[in-house]
Structure 1
């Protein structure tokens, strides 16, 4: 998976220290997670079970059933030995990164250091992971745009979980890790908190209380009992097209009064939380296996590839992958990882060969199928015989779809194959792209592609709804956000269409 990562070359060098052993790699597979951990079987199982309890507790609070997801739509969590390894993977130079999450269709991943699953309270590393997974759940269950304060307040609320020995989970405990921030950091007025366009993050390095105030407001609206249904009303107003500030005024009334209330709420000696008994948390089967020597040997390559590489680090990674593959020439996991490294380095024909070797050993190797699709698609774009090349690509797409019908990559790449080949987009292709977005609503590129397709079909109402989260992205409020301009154009075309239908 290609993406620019600063400092990854150094990470690769530190991972491939001669004689360094990776004998403890285990894989835990559950309904919602695939945990690949550099730790023993017992800790890997307990960590996966803890994650599943957290997932069930979140859905219990949200009042939703827990739908069974397709295997590739689970989050894969890579557990490395130390926080310093996490920071090297992230290319972090601040020294503060304890974990991170990357959402992508058919391949959402998170990276964290080893977690102690015995204690009731969560560690800092685990809290970061739970925060990011809460974002994943919010984006998976909410089709509308979410203001930044709500997104971060939601994630902070759930990140302070408590795991009881009797199987229960407590959610919404006080955010003690934000205490200093709320007491000492730069103030964020309520109007700026609720209106992303008014919030100006300080550029001089001064830390503000945005995250702490977001948690405080969300906790107050959800658990204080003072403002029932107002959070729901606020989200309904946003869904109906209100601006962030107007939605807040409509749902909450006098914002200055709201600010006084949350200030007083913060001073309470005790705050409520939600204890959920273990019998209300259904956790499915968890299977754990020790990974083969070949899998353990190639794992540093897998970590780097799944994190994402640029052209420079892809060239650094490839010889390592090739060297390991020479030691394990018939292992499907190793061959699929090599196919990915070859593709990232621009060697698409070789990537296809390695993917085919992996599939000969294991026809169900999802990563081998995916890498073959990626490589064939890029080869087809410059093929001398494009018709034959795209036919071969679609054959690979169909093969993965048969292995896993709800894997989003075949749905996305079938649409892209028609688009790139200059062929007409079929209803099947459009429905497939729409299904891919349902499976991975957090994937911005898929959302963008579907919007453009709906505009081409003059389905402006649906296009407007699909694009709205990108146009209102609280992390990209700049005037050069292309989604804002396109949304305005869609709205204008939609209005003209409605006028024409009335004539």
Structure 2
């Protein structure tokens, strides 16, 4: 109930909200957040500047190792990966409340953002694992079987690279070794055929999937003959052959006999690889962020989750309002307020907050994207076509401003392409180019690949559509788009067959 602008809350609800709000509010005094920018990363931390610089340099050296091993484009023109370093588990769960206990970090790639967040100094292997996936997607390696994709990420997760360029990789993974020694192994044909860990029913089984994938990858890459046969196997699986049958044909070993060989290998001495790569001496620029960051950033990350069940909307809205009142001229606090009001509060208040954001920072990409979404939604309420066209034109102008500010942000390209979907001439060549750029800048976001593929199909570009869809089918993390991608790929084959018979 509201009285003269004062919101009256039910006392029990008020108490619950206050308790939830307290959980979203840091208990300590404001910490200094810093931003380190290098060639491929933007790292945010509330720790010391020295540790921030060291961590950013380590990520750049790891990128250099992957580039030396797998080649591909330089990736210098891609959007830099944001990484957030926090102090403890409480801070991590302020941003990611759904994470189970014991998890020290998280990487996500969605339409809302691609970023990693982790506890500083804890389980750094997790980010190296996920960055290997991120890197491989950027170089176009989306056709790997699930076990090899995960095994390769585990294989490189323990890598070290010195300032002089001395790299070691394939180092033992004690956690995975313990799992292999103590756990019940999955049948090897199940491992080979699983599209990813999501195909394994139990949590214990999923842990064994990662451990066995690491062991199998390590065994393969430890021997040149096996490594060459691996190339034959990957080509066969990529061509559609059953993974277990392709294994026996490529290696001459039945899947059921493979377990004994792997266990014997794991009981022996594990060797690792060393490589001297060109020294990576990254240029890192560090800046101190405004005081509002300490209160605003972690709840804001939570509010951007693509899954509503991971958010407590009323508490996030109350937090955003309190922070905006505390920091009325801070762009980040105003963006957080705009997002929260749009999702759980008042649309007029959202627009007012974002208008103020763009007055303070005309090129604020988050503000421009959110404002464009509001204007586009408003276009659906217009009373006539002229009104609809006018609002869509305003949304298009906002997105073009965002694109000028950040040309490599995949979200802008995707929003521009979606805004055009209602046009009579859609998809034009410009639309297809826009979708292609969105997928190029975010090959890790499967829903964008799917939308881009549908546009290509509408234009009759079967090969381009299939290239976009194949990594979705092979995505080791699964998701709702996998089955849809399979259906579309089958339709493409039918259309190709029909075109060939004409």
Interval of TM-score (by shorter of Structure 1 and Structure 2):
0.7 to 0.9
Partner of 1:31: 39
How far residue 496 of structure 1 moved from its aligned partner, in angstroms, is 0.6
Verify the 8 A CA contact 1:411 1:435 in the aligned structure 2. Answer: yes
- Give runs of aligned pairs for residues 400-419 of structure 1, distance below 5 A: 400-419=402-421
Query: What SS does the aligned partner of 2:421 have?
Result: helix
Task: Spell out, residue by residue over 1:345-399, the C-alpha distance to the aligned partner (whole angstroms, 9 max, x if none).
Answer: 3644443433332222222322222222232233333333211111111111111
Using a 3 Å threshold, how does the CA distance of structure 1 residues 148 and 167 change in structure 2: closer, same or farther? same
Task: Spell out, residue by residue over 1:411-434, the C-alpha distance to the aligned partner (whole angstroms, 9 max, x if none).
Answer: 211221111455532210111101
Aligned equivalents of 2:184 and 2:62: distance in 1?
A: 32
Verify the 8 A CA contact 1:191 1:198 in the aligned structure 2. Answer: no
Using a 3 Å threshold, how does the CA distance of structure 1 residues 429 and 130 change in structure 2: closer, same or farther? same
How far residue 342 of structure 1 moved from its aligned partner, in angstroms, is 2.6
Partner of 1:120: none
Aligned equivalents of 2:154 and 2:160: distance in 1?
A: 13
- Give runs of aligned pairs for residues 140-179 of structure 1, distance below 5 A: 140-164=138-162, 168-179=166-177
- Give runs of aligned pairs for residues 249-264 of structure 1, distance below 5 A: 249-256=248-255, 258-264=258-264
Deviates more, 1:381-390 or 1:421-430: 421-430
1:86 equivalent among 89, 92, 104:
92
Query: What SS does the aligned partner of 1:400 have?
Result: helix
How far residue 435 of structure 1 moved from its aligned partner, in angstroms, is 1.5
Partner of 2:266: 266
- TM-score relative to the length of structure 2: 0.86
Structure 2 residue runs of 5 or longer lacking an equivalent are: 1-16
Aligned equivalents of 2:39 and 2:446: distance in 1?
A: 25
Query: What SS does the aligned partner of 1:76 have?
Result: strand
Task: Spell out, residue by residue over 1:58-102, the C-alpha distance to the aligned partner (whole angstroms, 9 max, x if none).
Answer: 2222234532034xx222111111124324543347422111111
Partner of 1:426: 428
Partner of 1:366: 365
Verify the 8 A CA contact 1:448 1:467 in the aligned structure 2. Answer: yes
Query: What SS does the aligned partner of 1:101 have?
Result: strand
User: 1:351 aligned to 2:350?
Assistant: yes
Aligned equivalents of 1:138 and 1:371: distance in 2?
A: 30
1:16 equivalent among 25, 33, 42:
25
- Give runs of aligned pairs for residues 103-502 of structure 1, distance below 5 A: 103-104=109-110, 107-115=113-121, 123=122, 125-164=123-162, 168-196=166-194, 201-203=200-202, 209-256=208-255, 258-269=258-269, 271-277=270-276, 280-307=278-305, 310=308, 313-345=312-344, 347-384=346-383, 385-420=387-422, 424-476=426-478, 481-500=483-502
User: 1:47 aligned to 2:55?
Assistant: yes
Using a 3 Å threshold, how does the CA distance of structure 1 residues 197 and 236 change in structure 2: closer, same or farther? closer
Verify the 8 A CA contact 1:34 1:77 in the aligned structure 2. Answer: yes
Verify the 8 A CA contact 2:372 2:394 in the aligned structure 1. Answer: no
Aligned equivalents of 1:36 and 1:272: distance in 2?
A: 35
Partner of 2:11: none
Task: Spell out, residue by residue over 1:160-209, the C-alpha distance to the aligned partner (whole angstroms, 9 max, x if none).
Answer: 12354756432210111111111111112321211117996354856762
Query: What SS does the aligned partner of 1:187 have?
Result: coil
Aligned equivalents of 2:418 and 2:203: distance in 1?
A: 43
Partner of 2:82: 76
Verify the 8 A CA contact 2:165 2:278 in the aligned structure 1. Answer: no
Task: Spell out, residue by residue over 1:189-232, the C-alpha distance to the aligned partner (whole angstroms, 9 max, x if none).
Answer: 32121111799635485676221110111112223324132233
Query: What SS does the aligned partner of 1:227 have?
Result: helix
Using a 3 Å threshold, how does the CA distance of structure 1 residues 414 and 150 change in structure 2: closer, same or farther? same
Using a 3 Å threshold, how does the CA distance of structure 1 residues 136 and 204 change in structure 2: closer, same or farther? closer
RMSD: 3.0
Task: Spell out, residue by residue over 1:16-50, the C-alpha distance to the aligned partner (whole angstroms, 9 max, x if none).
Answer: 15x63232311111111111112121111111111
Using a 3 Å threshold, how does the CA distance of structure 1 residues 105 and 139 change in structure 2: closer, same or farther? farther
Aligned equivalents of 1:388 and 1:496: distance in 2?
A: 42
Aligned equivalents of 2:331 and 2:474: distance in 1?
A: 43
Aligned equivalents of 1:46 and 1:218: distance in 2?
A: 30
How far residue 337 of structure 1 moved from its aligned partner, in angstroms, is 2.6
Verify the 8 A CA contact 2:136 2:142 in the aligned structure 1. Answer: no
Task: Spell out, residue by residue over 1:241-262, the C-alpha distance to the aligned partner (whole angstroms, 9 max, x if none).
Answer: 3343344344333334654443
Matched residue count = 481
Aligned equivalents of 1:389 and 1:448: distance in 2?
A: 27
Aligned equivalents of 1:198 and 1:26: distance in 2?
A: 37
Query: What SS does the aligned partner of 2:77 have?
Result: coil
Using a 3 Å threshold, how does the CA distance of structure 1 residues 341 and 428 change in structure 2: closer, same or farther? same
Using a 3 Å threshold, how does the CA distance of structure 1 residues 203 and 147 change in structure 2: closer, same or farther? same
How far residue 156 of structure 1 moved from its aligned partner, in angstroms, is 0.6
Partner of 1:59: 67
